[in-house]
Amino acid sequence: MEDLFSLPIFFITFRESLETAIIVSVLLAFIKRTLATQDDPVLHQKMVQQVWFGTAAGLLTCVLIAVAIISGIHSLGAEQFAAAESIWEGVFSLGASLIITAMGAVLLRVTKLQDKWRLKLSKALNATESHKGPFRDRIKYLGEKYALFLLPFITVLREGFEGVLFIAGVGVSISSAAIAISSVLGLALGAFVGYFIYKGSKTAPIQLFLIVSTCFLYLIAAGLFSKGVWHFEQNEWNKIVGGDAAELGSGPGSYDVRRSVWHVNVRPFPPQRIQTAAGTDTPQCCNPDLNGGGFWGIFNAVLGWQNSATVGSVVSYNLYWVAVATGFFAMICKEKGYWPFAKKDTQRQEHEGDDQEPLLSRPAR
């Protein structure tokens, strides 16, 4: 059985595909619920194509990265190649978090801005000439034109990159057949969960669906933001210990006690023995990186759980929610034309300026 199936690789591929499946299913459901096929079939097709093209491009890029990583491991050695692993994971995590955060604000307000965004996306997607103007405006234009492409692309790229690194690390002593079968089963299960979410979204009221899906996306984004900071701090600790600290298990030396906020290290009963780089050890509960992670690995992929939290990861997680809450508070103040501690004349002028261009031409469905 061990020659045909690997539980750690199955959990790794499942947890990495789960987040991608959730985001893709939410985007497809968003398109389905806000823009019916019969209303504008051309625009509907272009939006769906962007989501799938972004997913496919991310998957293809991951395959190329996997080939490069495997070749690099064999040519440079695993230790040299793994030196920058935490840096790349941190960069991808922070990038994905920012993109999901921006998309979440759009999803939450889609019932109020439905016609405005339909017109905006239609103009951007149907544009044939490149946008001319300042560099900032061109970047904004490209972001709007390919927004539904960038989010799944970055998500698949980040999750695939992380999955490839984990599989390359634990798959040294595992047969190729077990790696292939376990990976396919994990990907299939993640796709099934995403399909279930997509189907379930059809029966829910659109406002309820948008609120629930946006809250879920923000939980993912907050976890990604915290994980990004955690990876950067882990990279600094890896430099101190002179290698990958995760290979030491969950015991002493695997984390920086100077920056530690909590370290959950519960041993199961009856105890079991596993082989680590530091020798024979008893597996600990709640570590998302050991032996595939199991439930804790899925918890880490979706919500950013770490059994060894640092000051930076905890503070960044809380600051993320402060920033999101502040952003939505500013959006509410702008819509209502009321700014705390601002003069009434200024508020009246801003409110009158907003009324000159109504956001809705007809009520949202």
- CB contact at 8 A, 206 and 31: no
What's the pLDDT score for residue 364? 43
What's the pLDDT score for residue 232? 87
What's the pLDDT score for residue 97? 83
Distance CA 9, CA 316 (A): 30
Distance CA 148, CA 49 (A): 9
Locate tokens 């006690």: which residue? 257
CA distances to 73, 188, 315 from 168, in Å: 9, 20, 31
Distance CA 306, CA 93 (A): 14
Does 358 sit behind a cis peptide bond, omega within 30 degrees of 0 on the bond before it? no
Q: What is the pLDDT along the chain (365 residues), one digit of tens a residue?
A: 456 677 667 777 777 777 778 778 877 877 777 666 556 677 778 888 888 898 899 888 887 877 776 666 555 555 555 566 777 778 777 877 887 787 777 666 655 555 555 555 555 555 555 555 666 666 666 666 677 788 788 878 877 777 776 676 555 556 777 777 888 888 888 888 778 777 776 666 666 767 777 788 788 888 889 988 888 888 887 777 776 655 555 666 667 777 778 777 766 555 555 555 545 555 557 777 666 566 677 777 777 778 788 888 899 999 999 999 998 888 888 877 777 766 665 555 555 544 444 433 444 44
Give the domain ranges of the chain. Answer: 7-355
| pTM score, whole prediction | 0.56
Locate tokens 């097709």: which residue? 45
CA distances to 87, 235, 257, 260, 312 from 315, in Å: 19, 18, 16, 12, 5
- Strands 279-281 and 260-263: what pairing? unpaired
271 phi and psi angles, rounded to 5 deg = -70, 145
Residue 192 burial (CB count, 10 A): 12
Distance CA 303, CA 217 (A): 10
Residue 349 makes CB contacts below 8 A (sequence gap 6+) with: none
Q: How many CA atoms lie within 13 A of 245 on its CB side?
A: 21
